[in-house]
Amino acid sequence: MGTATTDIVREDARGNARPRVVIIGGGFGGIEAAKTLRTVAVDVTVIDRHNHHCFQPLLYQVATAALSPADVAWPIRHMLARQRNTTVLMGEVRSIDTQLRVVQTAELTVPYDYLVLATGATHSYLGHDEWEAVAPGLKGIDDATRTRRRILIAFERAELADDEIERQRLLTFVIVGGGPTGVEMAGAIAEVARQTLPPDFRRIDPRTARILLIEAGPRLLPALSEPLSAYAQRTLTRMGVEVLTSSAVTECHAQGVEVRGNLIAAGTIIWAAGVVASPAASWIGAARDKAGRAVVNPDLSVPGLPDVFIVGDAAAVNWRTHQLVPGLASAAKQMGRYVGEVIATRIRGSSHSRPFRYRHQGDLATIGRRAAVVNLKHLHLTGALGWLFWSVVHIYFLIGARSRFAVAFSWAWQYVTFQRGARLITGTEPSQHR
């Protein structure tokens, strides 16, 4: 497959020179921008490395064997199939030339009139990228199946182990980072160990597994109010999770983690501690903050590049005093919709747009069976009611009736039987981790 400079969008438009909007990234922001341009006289091209859009808020359920990958991911081209002005291309962006106005992938050169960067964020290891191999994060489907494999293999190896020290190490799970993903992972692993697995093992008792949630800051779920943080910590502790706050991890390696100078021997380490924006800003030479996010204008365009926009986790957008818009699905969607509208307005010949204004819809995190925290403007819930609310909201935001039904069924089944439907060890690890 050679590299070609075909103007693929013009080809599709059959000589019709409509403005070309290229969107890089098929996550929440990119998809929403594309959908907003549905009825606008433009040719939209969405480029993503993967063929699927992934519903990240439920990825931890794939990692803990509750859901299958196909329950929380959908082919991007199918999501946009009915939108006739839109082409989806699977490809990895190599570079962007903002002078020639082209995006370069391995296979194609794609010209644009408007460019939307919606490339999201990835794990940040705070300068210790070598930790990634031992402490994987949770951003995509392959991350989730990798984490699932590691968790399930730890129990399998413990069942085989003859040495008591080694067995205890294998049955120790460390989750680094006390945000929503860390809290959700810790709660879910506790349920796997205490409820799902015990009848299936003979030589070990999975209930003896040690699950540690380690947070560098003073409390869990720092985005939420203090009473909700305290509730989350209490609930996790009751579920048998050891919560360590004000505890920075200073080292991760194959044998465990170091916290405040002490080694905690662990067979599985899961990274939920921080994110860094994807390199979108560097592609276009934009200024970045320390988390790698691009500094953008109030209309989310890039200073000096009025036709290039950045949305979602890759953009640093002011919200409240000293606070940026958080890295949430709803924030990315709002930005995507906003940029779609700005482009539509410009195409209609108007150049004036109101600045982007983020509307915080609230924070949610689930902890376990009948336990979640919900922090909306006029609604604060915990316990079973919070959990029910969390479940309904997440089902609602899934794509397509099929997934909604499948996930609701999986949850109902799990609620009744305590069993998880996707307890499969698939794929392989590089041999040093076996």
Tell me if 70 contacts its own copies by CB under 8 A.
yes
Q: Which stretch binds its own copies (CB under 8 A): 162-170, 233-241, 247-255, 314-322?
A: 162-170
Does residue 405 belong to the site contacting its own copies (CB under 8 A)?
A: yes
Q: Which residues contact 14 (CB under 8 A, 6 or more apart)?
A: none
Choosing from 162, 351, 378, 431, the residue that interacts with its own copies (CB under 8 A) is 162
In this complex, which beta carbon is closest to its own copies, that of residue 238 or of residue 402? 402
Binding mask 107-146 for its own copies (x = CB under 8 A): xx--------------------------------xx--x-
Query: H-helix or E-strand containing 302?
Result: strand 301-302
Task: Tell me which of 126, 263, 287, 424 binds its own copies, using CB under 8 A.
Answer: 424
- d(CA 271, CA 182) in angstroms, rounded, equals 8
Check binding of 18 to its own copies (CB under 8 A). no
CA–CA separation, 191 and 196 (whole Å) = 7
How far, rounded to the nearest angstrom, does the alpha carbon of residue 45 sit from its chain's CA centroid? 23
Which stretch in 112-120, 160-168, 336-344, 366-374 sits in contact with its own copies by CB under 8 A? Answer: 160-168
Q: What is the DSSP string of 251-298?
A: EEETTEEEETTEEEE-SEEEE-S-EEE-THHHHTT--B-TTSPEE--T
Please state, in angstroms and rounded to a whole number, the distance separating the CA atoms of residues 431 and 135. 16
425 binds its own copies (CB under 8 A): yes
Q: Minimum CB separation from its own copies for residue 153, in Å? A: 8
* Options 81, 263, 379, 392; binder of its own copies; rule CB under 8 A: 81
Nearer to its own copies, 145 or 382 (CB): 145
Tell me the β-bridge partners of 46.
23, 88
**Would residue 258 show up in a list of annotated catalytic residues for this protein?**
no
The contact pattern for its own copies, residues 234-273, with x = CB under 8 A and - = no contact, is ----------------------------------------
E-assigned strands of 91-167? 93-97, 102-105, 109-111, 114-117, 121-123
What does the alpha-carbon distance between residue 250 and residue 125 come to, in Å, rounded to a whole number? 11
Among 38, 89, 279, 299, binds its own copies (CB under 8 A): 89
- Sites for its own copies among residues 186-245 (CB under 8 A): 199-203
* Of the candidates 355, 299, 309, the residue with the CA atom closest to the CA atom of residue 21: 309
Closest to its own copies by CB, 99 or 431:
431
Q: What residues have CB less than 8 Å from 165, skipping those under 6 apart?
A: 265
Beta bridge partners of 302: 305
- Angle (CA) 184 230 418, round 5°: 35
Which one of 184, 191, 215, 341 is the catalytic residue?
Answer: 184
Residue 81's CB is within 10 A of a number of other CB atoms, namely 11
Query: Interface with its own copies by CB under 8 A: which residues?
Result: 1-2, 4, 6, 8, 11-12, 50-52, 68-71, 73-75, 77-78, 81-82, 87-91, 107-108, 141-142, 145, 152-153, 156-157, 159-163, 166, 199-203, 402-403, 405-406, 409, 413, 417, 419, 421-428
Which residues does the annotation mark as catalytic? Answer: 184
